[in-house]
Structure 1
Amino acid sequence: MMLPTISRNALLLAIFSVVCTGAIALINVLTQPLILEQQQIALQNNINELIKENEYDNKIIESCFMVTDPMLLGDKEPKQVFIATKENQPVAALIQTNTFKGYSGEIKLLVGIYENGSVAGVRINSHTETPGLGDKIQTNKSDWIYSFDGKEYTEETKSQWAVKKDGGTFDAFTGATITPRAVVDAVKDTLLFFQKNKETLFNTASTCGGK
């Protein structure tokens, strides 16, 4: 006996849905290793931009571990810390962090901090800020992110850690103050995290192996 038209269409739709779901799952399984590989390449490139190759002699991407600090590192999710050393002496810590204070979502950063507390550099790992405005935090859009290089957070300099509109020294973007304000706050908090945990960071054994 033939199925009624409605039942037959419903069955075909169900089969189609199952096939599509299976195909998506398969594609995800097949592409996940490639995605992870690309993420590691991007991470290594950022590390190489923040710490010059002649400043360290270890495999930074394999010298890492996880930390959490909801107050200073964006949220409660674990963040990776990478340690650069030379002749077994600490050179710098590269700390992943994030902020949700941007204009349109999460901004993920990598903050490099030398052993003496000065900023080696900052790079944006990902963001969803407005093209043409907030995306000037990217190095291929402007040189604004380089304004952190060499800076320190101390009692004498803490008033500088804000955009100029708020009385600090960092430029804002025309029509987009929220994004640079969020990044400045995130970098400042990361420096505070480093100061609070410096000895522990430089004496913690690697646990994540670059994965």
Structure 2
Amino acid sequence: MRSSISRNALLLSAFAIICTASVALVSELAQPKIAQQEQNALLKTLNQLIPVDQYDNDIVASCFTVADPHLLGSTQPQQVFIAKKDNHPVALMLETTTMSGYAGQINLLVGIYENGQTAGVRVIHHSETPGLGDKVQTNKSDWIYAFNDKSYQETQKSRWDVKKNGGDFDAFTGATITPRAVIFAVKDALIYFKNNKNELFKHEANCGESL
């Protein structure tokens, strides 16, 4: 009896070890594919902001990180990607974060041309209410396209708000918190760009070292 129990325990232990090893192996083999899929998704988003015919450098490899809790909304490093044509700066894509969404954190990617004009904005992560706050997504509404070709001037900062507060941007029916959070985050990203433009376009790539 004891021999049978011991034998079964050994078989179960061996089975558990084999299963654990198999899961670890599959996970290890899947990592390169997952990384490639993530890079492809990132490049697709970057190219929505800066079309591929506007630059000729390896835009993903240009990545570096910056941090500014006040203007970029987080103490965590935010990624920046530089687009160049014939080795001249064309635009950059800047990650920024706002914690002021209705459901908290919203992560954005803001495209800014060398002249300070916005190329566009995309929301890359949020937890906003379906049917209301999720209208920041391009597959839910066209609202985010309102940021295309915008620029920030201190003398016109009141325009960076929803229309009912005297700004240029529509709110969502039944939801004002989410659009205002995004508007203010984009405005602050443009201020950050204006304050740091020269350093940003000269920055060395370092994402492989920092992340």
Summarize the alignment of residues 47-58 of structure 1 with structure 2, pairs less than 5 Å apart: 47-58=46-57
Name 2:45's counterpart in structure 1: 46
1:1-211 equivalences under 5 Å are 26=24, 32-208=31-207
> How far off is 1:156 after superposition?
3.5
Separation (CA, whole Å) in 2 of partners of 1:156 and 1:56: 32
**How big is the shift at 1:159?**
1.3
RMSD: 2.5
TM superposition shift of 1:74? 1.1
What is the one-letter code of the residue matched to 1:151?
K
Judge conservation of contact 1:63–1:209 (CA < 8 Å) in 2.
no
Identity among equivalent pairs (%): 58
AA in 2 matched with 1:101: S
Cα distance in structure 1, aligned partners of 2:139 and 2:31? 27
| 1:209 positional shift | 5.3
Of residues 103-112 and 142-151 in structure 1, the stretch that sits farther from structure 2 once superposed is 103-112
SS in 1 for 2:139: coil
Q: Secondary structure at the match of 2:112?
A: strand
1:35, 1:192 → 2: CA distance? 35
How far has the Cα of 1:39 moved from its partner? 2.4
The 1:201–1:134 alpha-carbon spacing in structure 2 relative to 1, beyond 3 Å, is same
SS, match of residue 37 in structure 2: helix
CA offset digits 1:63-102 (Å, max 9, x no partner) = 1111010101111000110000111111101001111110
Q: How much has 1:32 moved relative to structure 2?
A: 4.7
- The amino acid that maps onto 2:200 is L
Identify unmatched segments of 5+ residues in structure 1. Answer: 3-14
Q: Which moved more, 1:55-64 or 1:157-166?
A: 157-166
Number of residue pairs aligned between Structure 1 and Structure 2: 197
- Which structure has the higher relative contact order (CA within 8 Å, separation 6+)? 1
Asked if the contact 1:61/1:209 (under 8 Å) is kept, the reply is no
Q: Deviations over 1:139-163 (max 9, x none)?
A: 0110000000000001243111011
Q: How far apart, in 1, do the equivalents of 2:78 and 2:28 lie?
A: 24
Q: By how many angstroms is 1:37 displaced?
A: 2.9
Cα distance, 1:46 vs structure 2: 0.7
Q: Tell me, what secondary structure is at the counterpart of 1:111?
A: strand
Answer whether contact 1:85 1:92 (CA < 8 A) is retained. yes
2:5 maps to none
Q: Structure 2: how far apart are the matches of 1:33 and 1:99?
A: 31
Task: Give the match for residue 10 of structure 1.
Answer: none
